[in-house]
Amino acid sequence: MSIEETSSLLAGIPISSLAMAMLFGSITFTTAALTMKTWLKTGDIHVLRAAMKPRSQPLDTNSLVSIFTLLYHSTTFGMILFFAYICENHPLYPHDEKVYDRDQFFFLVVLLFLFGFYTLHKHGQDEQLDTTSTAAASSGVNESILSSNAGRDEVENVIPNSSMEDCHPISVEDRSSSSLYDKSNVQVAYLRVKEAKSYNDVLNRDQTEEWKGWMQFVFLIYHYYHAEEVYNSIRIMITCYVWMTGFGNFSFFYLKNDFSFVRVIQMLWRLNFLVVFLCLSQGTTYILYYICPLHTYYFLMVYAAMRVGKRLNYSKFGLRVKLAIVALIIYLVWDVDLGLFKVIHYPLVGSKPTLGATHGTMWEWYFRSTLDHWSSLLGMIFAANYPIVSLFYRKLEAMSPSKCWLGKGCMGVSMMFAFVVWVRGPFQLEKFDYNVTNPYFGFVPLITYIYFRNLTPGLRSHSLKVLHEIGKTTLETYLMQHHIWLASNAKSLLVLIPGWPKINMVVITIIYFFVSRKLYKVTIFLRGMLLPNDSKRCIQSLLAMVCIIMFFYSIAYYLYTVGFVALKAIAIVSVLCGCFLYILVIDKTWESYTSAKSHDDEVHRPPGYFSEKSSSKASKFLPPITGGTVLLILGVVWQRLAIAGGVKIGPLHQRCETLVNNGHWISVDGCNEVVRGEAFRNEAIQNFATCGSPGAAYMWGWEVSMSSARCRFTQRNAKQLTKNLSHRRIGFVGDSMTRYLYHAFSRLLGMKDAGSYDANGPKHSNITHTVDHTLIDFIWAPFAIDQLQIIKDMNEDTRKWNDPTYDLVLIGGGAWDRLHRFSNDEEMSALGLTISDLVEQMKIMKKAGIPIVWITPTTINTPALNSPEKRDHMTEEDMNDMRSIYEQLGVNQAASFVLDGPSFSEERVHESFDGVHYPIDVYVAGAQIFANALDWLLPEVQSAEKFSSPEPGKMARPLLGFIMLCLCFIGLFCFDGFYGFSYVTCLFVKGILPNDLYLEAFSILHEKCDLPPLNASARSSPKANQSKKPKKTVSFPQKITRRKKVTFNDDEEVELINQGIGNN
């Protein structure tokens, strides 16, 4: 295939994909050219080594090393996007179908946990109790735990560049002398409670990474196997992720009081950088990756809640009143159908169907946000009470074992009771019914897990390291599963080793996780370079990125306009822009770079070193040649894969009609362990009696074709067919062979009993079925003359009424004519004339735009023919002659498609019970061939009717929403992170009322982290106030001088965050 032919393959790619190819092509050219340039100058690859092991520093536009580092990581990012594009659009082998195996699904889950227990890790074993590590303890919110589904390092995702290590330690003596504390009420209580470290507090960092890890693993294999039966569990896991978003972001804003533009834009970068470039490079939509907009939306909600009236954030009741107002707004927007949701979101989302939102973006966003509209707020409430929750656990553990376990046991029983009620109630509902209940009951398993996972200090101090590692890349693994681990936007499986599904899964998984971790590092590093802690430089970087993207998008749009969409066009633009960028970098940085390197060059000259002066021509021409060579290699790879590789899953092209009939039957031993397991679980069958060759089952499949054929035939199910054939009319015309095919196709549409044997039912009659707005008719017409008249009548109706009777007609015959009207020359001649007329009518129908399919007679089992007449006139040899006559007279050529009966019946001929007809499963194979051919025979078209998407508000449940509103008020004003369950313990154990723990829990946190002091009403009891002079307090942030301030660069700060932080 020539380059011009290859260009036609690129004509269908989105404009944004073309723009990204030119953008990253230019960057790759410049990176390769600069690498060669520096090697020619210094004789080594110092710049490349510096870029491969960089330190996160703001971009210095006057430094060659800094610019090259940016280009190097941008090139790496572009290569990964290119790899994802190839996997999605030009795979080596056609994408495979998902197949659910319950046994293997749960086997992998169990195996993960069993392996995980071998990586059981005790937190803090290697930590030294020096000043720095002591400073990591705090009785406040453990910032290291704050996590969302946004990515690998969820501290980086949700609370970027913040650490409670900045908070200074407070000794017991400091506590007793501090002006924040009332000695009579507080000091004794503190002495009774053990100090909590960063590694053994409630929801510490290691534990939450583990939590994210096992949820992400289950979430991924749920998608890999399409395990719909565990959908409700997966929905709970997404609820947990959204809960973490509210929890983490609230804690960051509370601790840091940082609402700056820089922090917000850094957070939005972390959540959306990768997904934006995936949308651009793949030509997909933002809503397709719904987790990202979901977490972005709730991050902004938390930001708004904490930013508005931020002076109240450190008031005991002011903050809680604000959150109560948020709860009321949520109730009115989502739980009461007032139309507020549509009013608020109408400017942002549309109502037209799009990729990832088949019912319109408005409905999809309403649906996604409604499923977890309370979760983020519940996470905020837990964070607001987190110091109390931590102290609550430690207070119980400071008591005698009997009191401790009495208190924990009572609370555990009450929570377990609620959990069991949820499991036996809402959790058992079907998918669509469960979705409505999830916002109101999903928190039950969430807080139950948190409570029991943190039940003892031992449980809090240990985690499974392998799950911890998986939890570090949740954003990247979620996003890249759409195009690398899976394919077709997560609808199918990527294949690198065909025929070996398990080995293929292992290989793909290794690549997938490697790419995900690399993407995490690139995203964090680029953020550090382009979005430093300087709002002016952040704005400059963002504007520059937008302008560059728009520039390349404009070029791509122009190429589309002039019809010059080809690999050579991409190459020309990439080389020209790459040369411009290369020259710009050299002119700006080369002199300073060479002067800095001159001393090193004089001291250490590597062997074979040649100066730039002695090789001026090489220095001038080799770098651009190197950049062009790299682009040439990438272009050749793209071209070869575009030619020889597969394509993204879509409707089959008409060229596939030459291959769709190619297949055969294979015997399958149904006694393998998978089938035996399902039989035992579902049907209580212990062993099979019909195994092996005597009782083998048969399956029909398509023969392997070259990937370049782009013919990926698959089994079509009722959901696919009814969707594509909605409001269509299909007519089957013919004899009993055609009728059996009609019944088989009806079964594909979901009519399981179609064609069931009925001795009393009519045989030679018409049949009509309507399946989900699809009309399918069978018209009894055994002779060619009958078929001719029916087709003629259909053409006449089409001409007269300009409305065809059917959208597609399938016709078959020949057997009855051969049996009853082919005994002499006169009958043969008459049949020939009838067939010729039929051909003309078929051509008329075809010309009118109505596809017409001809099915050739299936194979005849001559020994099984049950009458002398049939054995004399209807043998397989006779029918083969009849097939040839129809073909010679032009029936096959007149038809839009020919369904070859022998292709799916010849190998099963011995099973024809009467010599003519077969078991229904044989005809199902023919129906599947026909169903695949419908891709080009009846392509899906946009309905002429105006699209009407569901209206937001259908999932509103005012009563359940009101109950959630009350639950939020309980959590807020009763100071209980477990939303009221802690008070069950207080019925049996005295002195641990959450409301009474507020002062003790929050005082040390405010002192350590230089937060504003608590107000008098929260700090002192009436008795204490009588014996003391009132002290002036403030309830809003004040600038407080820190005892010790340590500054870190970005890498060191990220490392400290990764180590985790703690509470006292």
Residue 698 has pLDDT above 70, yes or no: yes
**Predicted pLDDT of residue 173:** 41
- Residues 878 and 886: their CA atoms lie apart, in Å, by 13
- CA 798, 802, 803, 806 torsion-angle sign: positive
- Percent of the chain's residues with pLDDT above 90: 64
The CA–CA distances, whole Å, from 549 to 536, 543, 546, 980 equal: 20, 10, 5, 51
CB 835 within 8 A of CB 889: yes
pLDDT of 731 above 60? yes
pLDDT band at 994 (very low <50, low <70, confident <90, very high): very high
Q: What is the pLDDT of residues 176-201, one digit of tens each?
A: 444 444 444 443 344 467 777 778 88
The tokens of 1005 are what?
A: 């946190």
Q: Specify the pLDDT at position 229.
A: 93
| DSSP H or E segment with residue 732 | strand 729-734
Which of the pair, 993 or 1024, is modelled with greater confidence? 993
The amino acid present at 186, given as its one-letter code, is: V
Lowest mean pLDDT among 18-32, 588-602, 608-622, 998-1012: 608-622
To the nearest whole number, what is the mean pLDDT of the chain?
84
Q: Distance between CA atoms of 522 and 526, rounded to whole angstroms?
A: 6
887 Cβ neighbours under 8 A, 6+ residues apart: none
Cα gap 730→320, rounded to integer Å: 63
Mean pLDDT over 85-105 rounds to: 92
**Which residue is it, tokens 């009855």?**
816
d(CA 518, CA 515): 5
Helices (H), 43-139: 46-52, 64-89, 102-117, 131-134
Find, among 165, 150, 353, the residue nearest to 266 by Cα: 150
The pair phi, psi for residue 904, each rounded to 5°, is -115, 5
pLDDT tens-digit profile of 919-956? 999 999 999 999 999 999 998 765 545 557 788 999 99
How high is the pLDDT of residue 43? 67
Residue 596: CB partners within 8 Å, gap ≥ 6? none
Q: 125-160 burial, b if ≥16 CB within 10 A, otherwise e?
A: eeeeeeeebbbbbbbbbbbbbbbbbbbbbbbbbbbb
d(CA 819, CA 873): 5
Burial class for 913, CB neighbours closer than 10 Å (0-12, 13-18, 19+): exposed
Distances (CA, A) of 795 to 729, 806, 844, 850, 893: 15, 10, 7, 10, 19
Does position 605 have pLDDT exceeding 60, yes or no?
Answer: no
Query: Over the stretch 229-263, which tens digit does the pLDDT of each residue have?
Result: 999 999 999 999 999 999 999 999 999 999 999 99
The region that residue 451 occupies, defined by phi over 0 for left and psi between -120 and 50 for alpha, beta otherwise, is alpha
Residue ranges in 146-194 assigned as alpha helix (H): 154-158, 172-177, 183-192
CA distance 326 to 312: 14
Answer for the pair 245, 494: CB distance below 8 angstroms, yes or no.
no
Alpha carbon distance 944, 967 (integer Å): 48
Confidence class for position 11, pLDDT limits 50, 70, 90: low
Amino acid 609: pLDDT: 45
pTM, 2 dp: 0.86
Do 82 and 106 contact (CB within 8 A), yes or no? no
Residue 751 or residue 677, greater confidence: 751
Q: Pairing mode, if any, of strands 120-122 and 462-464?
A: antiparallel
The per-residue pLDDT for 887 is 94
Q: Would the pLDDT of 140 be above 80?
A: no
- Angstrom distance (rounded) from CA 993 to CA 547: 57
Contacts of 257 (CB under 8 A, 6+ apart): 310, 313, 1011, 1037
- Residue 347: pLDDT above 80? no
Pairing of strands 852-855, 808-812: parallel
pLDDT digits (tens, 9 = 90+) for 389-398: 999 999 999 9
How far is residue 683's CA from residue 678's CA, in Å, rounded to a whole number? 8
Query: Which percentage of the chain shows pLDDT scores above 70?
Result: 84
- Of 41-45, 280-284, 323-327, 1037-1041, the poorest mean pLDDT is in 1037-1041
Cα–Cα dist 317/975, whole Å: 10
CA distance 856 to 840: 18
Which among 546-550, 637-641, 651-655, 1006-1010 has the top mean pLDDT? 546-550
pLDDT digits (tens, 9 = 90+) for 121-132: 898 765 543 433
In this prediction, residue 667 carries a pLDDT of 84
Judge whether 366 and 952 are in contact, CB under 8 Å: yes
CB atoms within 10 A of CB 865: 20
- Of 703, 725, 834, the closest CA to residue 774 belongs to 725
pLDDT band at residue 691, thresholds of 50, 70 and 90?
Answer: confident
Token pair, residue 849, equals 């735009």
- What is the pairing mode between strands 486-487 and 462-464? unpaired
Cα separation values, 784 from 457, 521, 734, 831, Å: 85, 70, 9, 7
> In the predicted model, is pLDDT for residue 152 greater than 50?
no
Task: Please check the confidence at residue 544 and state whether its pLDDT lies above 70.
Answer: yes
Torsions phi, psi for 462 (to 5 deg): -125, 150
Q: Is residue 1063 over pLDDT 60? A: no
pLDDT digits (tens, 9 = 90+) for 287-315: 999 999 999 999 999 999 999 999 999 99
Question: 1018-1023 long-range contacts, Cβ below 8 Å, gap at least 24?
Answer: 1018/316, 1019/180, 1019/181, 1019/182, 1020/182, 1020/185, 1021/182, 1021/185, 1023/184
Provide Rg for the chain, Cα atoms: 35
Q: What are phi and psi of 810, to 5 degrees?
A: -110, 125
CA distance linking residue 1042 with residue 168, whole number of Å: 8
State the Cα–Cα distance between residues 582 and 740, nearest whole angstrom.
Answer: 69
Cα dihedral value 1004, 1009, 1012, 1015, nearest 10 = -10
Pairwise pLDDT comparison (1053 vs 290), residue with the higher score: 290
692 in the Ramachandran plot: left (φ > 0), alpha (ψ -120 to 50) or beta? left
The pLDDT, as a whole number, for residue 473 is: 87
Is residue 318 a contact partner of residue 1035, using CB atoms and an 8 Å limit? yes
CA dist., res. 757 & res. 942, Å (int): 39
